[in-house]
Structures are given as C-alpha cells and as structure tokens.
Amino acid sequence: MAHASDGRSLEFKLPDLGEGLTEAEIVRWLVEVGDVVAVDQPVVEVETAKAMVEVPCPYGGVVTARFGEEGTELPVGAPLVTVAVAVGDAAADVPVRGSGTSAATGTAESPAAETPAAERRAEGSGNVLVGYGTSEAPARRRRVRADRQAATGASGRANGRVRGAEPVDGPVPVISPLVRRLARQHDLDLRELTGSGPDGLILRADVEYALRAAAAQGGRTAAQEAGTRRTQDAASPASSAYSPGSADSRADGTRVPLKGVRGAVADKLSRSRREIPDATCWVDADATELMRARTAMNASGGPRISLVALLARICTAALARFPELNATVDTEAREIVRLDRVHLGFAAQTDRGLVVPVVRDAHARDAESLTAEFARLTDAARAGRLTPGELTGGTFTLNNYGVFGVDGSTPIINHPEAAMLGVGRIVPKPWVHEGELAVRQVVQLSLTFDHRVCDGGTAGGFLRYVADCVEQPAVLLRTL
C-alpha cells in the first residue's frame, strides 16, 4: 500500500446516516493512525440518536489522521479520517460523499467534470451504512449556485464576515431539525446566515432574529444582514442573556445537554405536541379471560406466547376495522394518508432512553411470529444495536406502560403517526361479573389519537373493540 507521498490522501467525512439524523457521537475507534484499511472496513463506531452503528470507509489505504476523540459529537459532513491511497487505486477515484471537494487539491468539483466512468465508480462500495449506501447523495443537500459562488468573490466574504469559500455541497452548520423546519417554513436560506453558536452553528435564535429583521425591513437582504448583527450582538458581553448578575446565574443546579437519544426524544415529542391536536379516551376492561387464554396457549407446547404479542394481534385486528387510525397527515398537501400496511411500534425503555422499535407488517403475523419479533427487537434495543430502519417507519404504536406499575396515562403520539394505544398494569380488582361481585384481572386501556384523522365516534369504536377482545378473546376468531 502506497504512502501519502506515493499517492494522495482522501478525506472521509461522516456520511448522512439517513432518517433525519444530523449528528453522531464517537463511541470507539476501530483503527489507529498508520493502520492499513480495506475498502468497506469499519473504522469507527458511532452512536446516533437512534442506534449505535459501525461506519465503514469506502477507501482502501493507510490511515493518516483521525478526527475527534471518543465521546466527541460530530455533525454530518465533519471529517472522520484521512486515508492515503495509491494513485492507481480505483477507490481513490470515488468522490467523497457530501464533501464536494477534492482532498488532494481542495478545489470544488463540478457535476459536469465527472465522466461516465467516474459516475459508475461513484456508485462505490454501497456500504457506508447498512441500508444507506454511497450510491446516492442525500436529497436534502444542495449544491451552491454558481451565482452565489461568484457573489462571494475572491475575498470569500459572506454576510459581511470574511470566511473561507463554502464547499459545493457541504452541510449547512445546523444541528437542530427544528431550526431547519423554521427556516423552511419562512423560505429563509440558512446559507445566507452566519450562526452565533460554537464554530458558527446556526441556532434557532439566529433564525428568529433574521425573520424579525426581514419583517421590519421588508426583504430577504435584511434577513442576511440580521444574521451578522445577531452574531455580533451575541459576541458582546453587554447583550448576553446570561450574565453573572442574572437570576439564572444565582440558581443552583446541573445542566444536562439535550443530545443523543434524550435530545431526539425531546425534539420529536415537542413536534408532536406542537403539530398534532390530540385527544385521549380510555376504558377499564376485564382481562381475566385473555390471561386464561394465554395460559392455555402456553400449556399446549411450542414457543411461549407473550402478552404484548396478544395485545398487538388485537391492535392489528382493530385497525382492520378502523383503518382511519392507521394513517398520517400530509400537512403540506392538506391530505390524510391512510396506510395499507401496519408497521407496529412499541415503546421500550432502555439504559440509553426511550426507543420505539418497529415490527414490520404486524398485520400479517400470528401470535408466535409477533412474540419472536418483539423479543428480537427488545434484545437489540437493550444492547443498543437497533438499526435506523428498525426504529423508523411505524404507522401505529402500542405503549405498555403497565410494566412501570401504573394504571393509566395520556401518552404523546409518536409523530407522524395518528394514534397510540396505551395499556396499564393488570391487577386484581372488584368487578361485577355475570351479575355478581368478583375479583377479576382488570386493565385500563387508553387511546390517544389525532383528531384531524377521525372523530370521537371512530376512536371510541376502536377502543371498545379492543376492550371487547381483551374481555372475550373469542371475538378475535372472526378475523383469524
């Protein structure tokens, strides 16, 4: 393998991990500087807001540099490693995904400069991440327009501040998806702002300041200038919202960063509360017969059936009768999208926080298959080995909060889904059964639903059907 002096050095950047993930934390380096790596060899293990994954490098050669220590959080597009490759190595001609520059020359690449052969090689190993190959650039990244490059000029001046020329399709320095959404809603180009956060990170306050300035001065130019003024104001101690004499500085406490799983959960729940007009209904049900049915199933031999699998089977049967709840709302088109397949998410508490693995095609599975898939996904969740594909794409969620010893809850809908069934603990309670007072196994069921997709009658009918199946499992035989 050639040394750097015999070939050229390519920079491999943190790839787009898909599913809206914008950053990852380095958990463990798998290579050292000086190690020889092969194409598609994993070089680092990172933890995203959804899973831990090993990132393979699409180049073969000698590792000449690593960027970031273990525990460092990097945004998508930040350098991971540089690899010295031989001049004649085919892998050396594969462009770095999302970099837009040549590591050897530092010059911007033009789409027209790529030859058909280079385009074929750009299909690359296809294995940067499982399910997210190198063959296609992320749609949300855009090349800088030629007129914008010309406008920056030789001085590289942007927003009134001198800085280096922007890469052709490098990432905008934004981490929060809420900031991106706010800018997109108001047709504000984030590339025209200079962030006031660390290393030029664009914060929500920067966007809001720019929008206020644009409204006051009546133009997008004002929004650009406001971004610069916001940075200058933030750099001034007099304008700092946090000063030694402020009330916040006198309060005792510990600041915990909202990042990783906790940050992703916070963003998603906040978005759900902000966008979805939810409502909740609930009912108590006698689960005695369901528990007896499960006992009989497990006594007959074969794999044991879990209670959550039976509840999932009831959910899919109820969704077949009330398909309005297996839906999502397309706010831009102002349409309700009813989905043909049920991908059932279930809430799982892990050491890393709350995650929602998804059972694909739950409507086509029987109780044994559901039990096995729930067990597999739960084990993977506890080990932190769920892939992004196993944590996304759900259409309905089952939340068994009864495992925490509570009876009821009004859970927040897992955006962009339209409903969630909650199941409390099953406990002995006095219950009137066949006209007499008896001690029965009682559970509280709740349904939180998006009021845009249906009215209370549909939600009540769904929940009543679920309760009927819990009380009389034989009702399910009509749909088997």
- Positions marked catalytic: 451, 455
3-state SS record for the chain = CCCHHHEEEEEEECCCCCCCCCEEEEEEECCCCCCEECCCEEEEEEECCCCEEEEEECCCEEEEEECCCCCCEEECCCEEEEEEEECCCHHHHCCCCCCCECCCCCCECCHHHCCHHHHHHHCCCCCCECCECCCCCCCCCCCCCHHHHHHHCCCCEECCEECCCCCCCCCCCCCCHHHHHHHHHCCCCHHHCCCCCHHHCCCHHHHHHHHHHHHHHCCHHHHHHHHHHHHHHHHCHHHCCCCCCCHHHHCCCCCCCCCHHHHHHHHHHHHHHHHCCEEEEEEEEECHHHHHHHHHHHHCCCCCCCHHHHHHHHHHHHHHHCHHHCEEEECCCCEEEECCCCCEEECEEECCEEECCEECCHHHCCHHHHHHHHHHHHHHHHHCCCCHHHCCCCCEEEECHHHHCCCCCCCCCCCCCCEEEEECCCEEEEEEECCEEEEEEEEEEEEEEECCCCCHHHHHHHHHHHHHHHHCHHHHHHHC
